[in-house]
Structure 1
């Protein structure tokens, strides 16, 4: 099953079940779960890589890289008291990218033999030479030293694929039972696990072996009031993480409480699905009788699990250099933050807004040692004290902005897809002064606290937007007073980030994340995290999503 062909899990009809949108899953062939623990000898991968590189150079390539990838996926799907599906897949193959006559060419194969990869390399050169007949400007790569034979492994404590399926099923069914005990009418829970075994080699002299792990527990609960016919749902407040199964062993030190009166709990490097699903069932029930919001201007206090999506859409995507340059317009367009706009030094946000790209953050989805061009990953500033200072870029883009170094954010979703510029982890830095969530709320006279992701929309230049959430609480004179419903806020990117008034300190910092960030044509999916602490935005326009217009 191809990633782009997989429909995923979505919220279903009223009165039925509720599930969040899920990533395209399982770009490979079904396998016995025990086969997911097998590996490929590094020496074998080096021989295959050399066969591809030598064939490419012999055919006329001035540069070549080869990616040997083994991609493992497992998904466990449950509903109420039963298992709906268990999926274990493997995809294994080789992608070869070359420059010949100053032009890119790419080919891939699942014939993983020396002859097979050499044939793919020769085909990639033929494609590059054919492309060069219409190429207007030759590819210019930022210099990149070779690292020799190196490796990087995700610092996991327990490989999720080694955990018996029965144990994982028990965890999900126990969570479902807890939701039903606390008033849920319907409940689904899911556990996704991914392992990418990636080997990269290039004519620059790198042979890089990486072992990458990701995990995502999630659920959706729905409560139906039979008397009124009303129903409400709440999704999990978990974040997908670049961790192993240890993520599902709750640690008290990883729990972060929302403001007093909100009954919200956030999680850092471990997650308590039982606690979260219990709260979700209770909150979904409360939402049925919650007061509908009165539209107007409010100070917003945004939980990191909610703010991550706003960062993703209004900062992460518009600072992708290919969108800025107009090379990429799929999945909601280009960017308002053009090179000309940046040169004017117009404020992207207030002085409280410091946003970094960071491929090194432990536990994040984007944490790897090297990207798919063999560039060592790093951290760099995007927005500093409200001013846009840099973009996200790869080797063939750096010269366009007068730089001579890639940012290490070039990726492909699998061996059979060509690598291109992707979003790194993009995170709002916590405040430097000590500031708790309760202290942040105390400064709000009329506001709304928002947790979780809801529906959203953003225009074709990543400028005008609207965001909803999962759970909303009114703030009056510095205190949480009651639950609200039908809340969404509207703004443009500059107005919103310039309204940022305060950010909680590092003790509240945690990740939101996305397993399935779509981009490109044909579409590719990527995983990315966004860190932040709870943050306050003053005077934001709030609408009532239940009210009719006109």
Structure 2
């Protein structure tokens, strides 16, 4: 680029942005900041530290085996059982008051049975001998009915049995051992720090905690006990102009994570709140962005959502096979035989991995809900699309019959004991440069662009092809230096063109793992 932003007439602008009412167009070059401090290119693998994975409760183990026996005795060729106890806690504040406190516990069992080539499922809160036997027989009966009405041809890919599997989220402090008073005190201190900044009128903060103990037993001989712990802190600061003519908010970049309470305290929320407060005030007087073509430098707190929507969702195998279309559409990465190993999504510097073993990931587990061990593998290798993710055991045969390339199972997920397991995505991450390139170095290589932090509004079409993304804060870069704040920025692009425009990736020290506590699917 020549360092100047071209003036665009209306027709040219609409052509560039695809008709979307946004303020900035497709970036001719993209600079991505990504990856966590590590001695290797791959993210760290999760190993239980300072937390001992317990074995299954003897009574629950007996009930799970009883349910399996009941299902097979009734005629099921395969069955699996999940006994789950889920604790959830949410604490929300606004300024100097608590606005919501909620706690819940859910306990139950779900049984899945295979008859002929069709599934059946049943669940119950009655976790006793009569209850689990009744659920097992109902699951078998449902499968038999499904097989009569709509015969299927489900074939499960073979996996090693795990007779004594144990895993727990690596953590130091169980969030459910921390009192509500201590949590509220931290949130109030966070709010107070933000309110001390002149111009700030409103502050909200919250923290959600989840702990789930889940036992999986299968007729293949697997017996797996896992405990999942996740926390989700949040801070939002709103500044109001002195004449009440404008209000601007800064939502904090505090993603949920698979850690204990030590993650929340390590974020130093009160100190972060001061920064967010000052940035909210600055947004009130920030210059409006000039529409045009800009280079982009994308911070991980922003980039995670772009990766999630434009790469992770379209690489889900069930979308490519046509099994999932109701919620958020299908994918442009289809059919498998035409795209696997052939479709170029980026330049050679771009490698994206699916990883269920990464420390801190919301999708990190020891085994999935079919007893498949967690793994890591490339989705995009040196810019080329090489593998789908979100595959389950029954889906592997489908993609193998269509292409020489294979997808990896290990992505079956059960949202709740009362839900049938189905495909969900793993942690999906852009790998760093082999050189340890800093944030400052990335900006130094940008003549005239915009640095974006935080996630904001977005939209994407039903094939994950055309999209637009906003953010939280926007800084103009001139001659390699971050200068003034901008506002009302959003960029639009087509997925392949966008990722093929990426010319630089940050190094290990720029990595942050993002995520969300909720991602609707299976509508």
Name 2:277's counterpart in structure 1. Answer: 281
Which of 354, 363, 367 is 2:364 aligned to?
367
- Is the CA contact (8 Å cut-off) linking 2:356 and 2:374 kept in structure 1? yes
- Is the CA contact (8 Å cut-off) linking 1:142 and 1:405 kept in structure 2? no
String of CA shifts for 1:10-58, please: whole Å, max 9, x gaps: xxxxxxxxxxxxxxxxxxxxxxxxxxxxx99611111110111000001
Name 2:93's counterpart in structure 1. Answer: 78
1:493 aligns with 2:495: yes
Name 2:30's counterpart in structure 1. Answer: none
1:218 aligns with 2:234: yes
Offset at 1:153? 0.9
Which of 183, 188, 203 is 1:187 aligned to?
203
- Is the CA contact (8 Å cut-off) linking 2:230 and 2:362 kept in structure 1? yes
With CA pairs under 8 Å and 6+ residues apart, which has the higher RCO, 1 or 2? 2
- Is the CA contact (8 Å cut-off) linking 1:299 and 1:448 kept in structure 2? yes
Which of 304, 309, 315 is 1:308 aligned to?
304
Q: Which moved more, 1:376-385 or 1:130-139?
A: 130-139
Name 1:424's counterpart in structure 2. Answer: 426
How far apart, CA to CA, are the structure 1 residues paired with 2:494 and 2:521? 22
- Is the CA contact (8 Å cut-off) linking 1:145 and 1:205 kept in structure 2? no
- Is the CA contact (8 Å cut-off) linking 2:387 and 2:407 kept in structure 1? no
How far apart, CA to CA, are the structure 2 residues paired with 1:285 and 1:277? 12
Name 2:323's counterpart in structure 1. Answer: 327
Name 1:510's counterpart in structure 2. Answer: 512
Equivalent residues in 2 for 1:268-417 (5 A)? Answer: 271-338=267-334, 339-343=336-340, 345-392=342-389, 393-402=391-400, 406-417=408-419
In terms of fraction of residues, the more strand-rich structure is 1
How far apart, CA to CA, are the structure 2 residues paired with 1:508 and 1:427? 13
Name 1:131's counterpart in structure 2. Answer: 146
Name 1:115's counterpart in structure 2. Answer: 130
String of CA shifts for 1:96-133, please: whole Å, max 9, x gaps: 01101211111100000011011001000111011112
Q: Secondary structure at the match of 2:519?
A: strand
Name 1:526's counterpart in structure 2. Answer: none
String of CA shifts for 1:436-485, please: whole Å, max 9, x gaps: 11111111111000000000000000110000000000011111110000
Equivalent residues in 2 for 1:49-198 (5 A)? Answer: 49-183=64-198, 184-198=200-214
Name 2:41's counterpart in structure 1. Answer: none
How far apart, CA to CA, are the structure 2 residues paired with 1:406 and 1:317? 16
Offset at 1:229? 1.4
Offset at 1:249? 2.8
String of CA shifts for 1:331-353, please: whole Å, max 9, x gaps: 21000001144157131111111
Offset at 1:404? 7.7
Segments of 5+ residues of structure 1 without an aligned counterpart are: 1-38, 251-270, 522-550
Offset at 1:329? 1.1
Which of 459, 484, 487 is 2:486 aligned to?
484
Offset at 1:330? 2.7
- Is the CA contact (8 Å cut-off) linking 1:194 and 1:213 kept in structure 2? yes
String of CA shifts for 1:208-250, please: whole Å, max 9, x gaps: 0001100011011111113151100010111111000111233
How far apart, CA to CA, are the structure 2 residues paired with 1:509 and 1:162? 30
- Is the CA contact (8 Å cut-off) linking 1:372 and 1:419 kept in structure 2? yes
Which of 207, 210, 215 is 1:199 aligned to?
215
In structure 2, relative to structure 1, the CA distance for the partners of 1:139 and 1:305 (3 Å cut) is: same
Q: What stretches of structure 1 move > 4 A for 4+ residues in a row?
A: 403-406
Output the TM-score relative to the length of structure 1: 0.82
